Structure 1
């Protein structure tokens, strides 16, 4: 009978980061997400350092990927990466998007009027990691951390041919997936701070559900101090056991 926790492994696991920062736009001011790219890159570097300190291996930081390129990335990870000694896999996506649907890069269309080919439900990425396609991650946590910011349409813009509303996200029926979605750019800072404060520093790290609850609080408290109201980040979990993002220390003899 399996225990209450996912089985410990030699390594924490692998991480893939996709950061869609720059998009095509007719107006130069609409070219990038409303961020300081240099500052966001630095935040990503800080998150990578914390993940490395926890024992994770960051495979790569990919930027400005189309829908097909993102699916190809996950298929390559599933096919070519050796997960036998890994505890879990984490995919981090920073992009435009909403309702669990990522708005991907396109060289000819603005994210303010995305075509169907720019819209990628996270469930399609998760399909690449199901047990029949990636046996090394079977019965292991597969975690998706999403920072999806909505690209507000210009009221005077017309609707592009082929544009459609994002489809509601559907999580694969297979167990052991977790999706955590934030809608503001503060998400990446919250993740890095939460991992340090509640996983790296304590001798006994928080279980992932409790960890994400604490991250929600950090995220909402920040915006509250700015006089802003935001939606609480959304957690969708099909995990079947307790998950901890830190290698277990051997028990004292």
Structure 2
């Protein structure tokens, strides 16, 4: 029994000896960590916040079978005002063909972005599963934005590239459902993924219709501009987009003369490959 007690005492002694050692090491490690803002927040101390390109497609060739997008001019004006107030150089292009959209985005990707903190593109058009319409046809969304990825656009590597897409992604209608309540400054070089630092903010979920008011513009753009104006500089972009999704999903419901199109809902779809928090400097 004595031998067993002696072993227990030795074991307890080891615990007493090691515990302060572990505590000291943890404290030293914490004190050596860089500030969170250095690692998890995009640098914004560039001469310019960046360019905002707006593609506003309203009128379509008859061969596409697509109707006029009444209300899109209100969206374009709202977006232009919002991003101009945030400090962006805004360029609005109306009624772009597929070839013109591709050329526009390619030219934008080839611009000198070394003095820019970010890049924004807003697409206002018809769409379907995986495609965006120009006035004369459609193109895969991935093809349109490929020129901004990796080595194709070195000036924006490591910087946020934000795409906001107001377009249908299919023809399904969201019926909705009843909710029940329940209780550092040194320059360094490192390899990063070519898909890093992108944000794709779609007005609706894959496969679904995206709603637009012919007078006030689309639900998504209305709420996006409202939340950007209210929270920029206070919240990071992903927090703002959560509020956009909340507003679109809770504050809008369709009212339409077409049978089966009333009382429908919508939820935006935010796809983020951002690697840091993004705060608009205001």
TM-score with structure 2 length normalisation?
Answer: 0.66
Q: Choose which of 139, 148, 167 in structure 1 pairs with 2:167.
A: 148
Q: 1:90 to 1:26 in 2, by over 3 A?
A: closer
Which ranges in structure 1 are unaligned for 5 or more consecutive residues?
107-117, 153-171, 248-253
Are residues 1:198 and 2:219 paired? no
The answer to whether the 8 A contact 2:130-2:169 is kept is no
Are 2:258 and 1:237 equivalent residues in the alignment?
no
Across the aligned residues of Structure 1 and Structure 2, the Cα RMSD in angstroms comes to 2.5
Aligned to 1:184: 211
Paired residues of 1:5 and 1:243 also in contact (CA < 8 A): yes
Q: Which has the higher contact order (CA 8 A, sep 6+)?
A: 1
Measured after TM superposition, the shift of residue 23 of structure 1 is: 0.7
Paired residues, what number?
206
Contact 1:147 / 1:184 at 8 angstroms: preserved in 2? Answer: no
Cα 1:207–1:87 shift into 2, 3 Å: same
Give 1:91 shift.
0.5
Match of 1:217 among 216, 223, 246: 246
Q: 1:98 to 1:246 in 2, by over 3 A?
A: farther
Tell me how far 1:225 sits from its aligned partner: 8.4
Partner of residue 22, structure 1: 59
1:69-113 deviations in Å (ceiling 9; x for gaps): 21111111111x22122111011001110334202211xxxxxxx
Change (3 A) 1:31 1:4: closer
Segment drifting more, 174-183 vs 118-127: 118-127
Flag the 1:83–1:173 CA change in 2: closer, same or farther, 3 A.
closer
Cα distance change, pair 131–173 in 1 and its aligned pair in 2 (3 A): closer
* Further displaced range: 208-217 or 186-195: 186-195
**2:40 is the alignment partner of 1:4:** yes
Report the Cα distance in structure 2 between the residues aligned to 1:150 and 1:99, rounded to whole angstroms.
5
Deviation at 1:31, TM superposition (A): 4.2
Match runs of 1:23-172 below 5 Å: 23-25=60-62, 31-33=67-69, 35-36=70-71, 40-58=72-90, 60-79=91-110, 81-106=111-136, 118-149=137-168
Structure 2: give runs of 5+ residues left out of the alignment: 1-33, 172-192, 204-209, 213-218, 256-261
Aligned to 2:236: 207
Name the CA shift for 1:236/1:151 in 2 (closer, same or farther; >3 Å): closer
Structure number, greater radius of gyration: 2
Shift, 1:126, TM fit = 1.9
Q: Which secondary structure state, in structure 1, belongs to the residue aligned with residue 126 of structure 2?
A: strand
* d(CA) in 1 for partners of 2:82, 2:122: 14
Shift of 1:124: 1.4
- The alignment's TM-score, normalised by the length of structure 1, stands at 0.73
Aligned 8 A contact 1:205 1:246 in 2: no
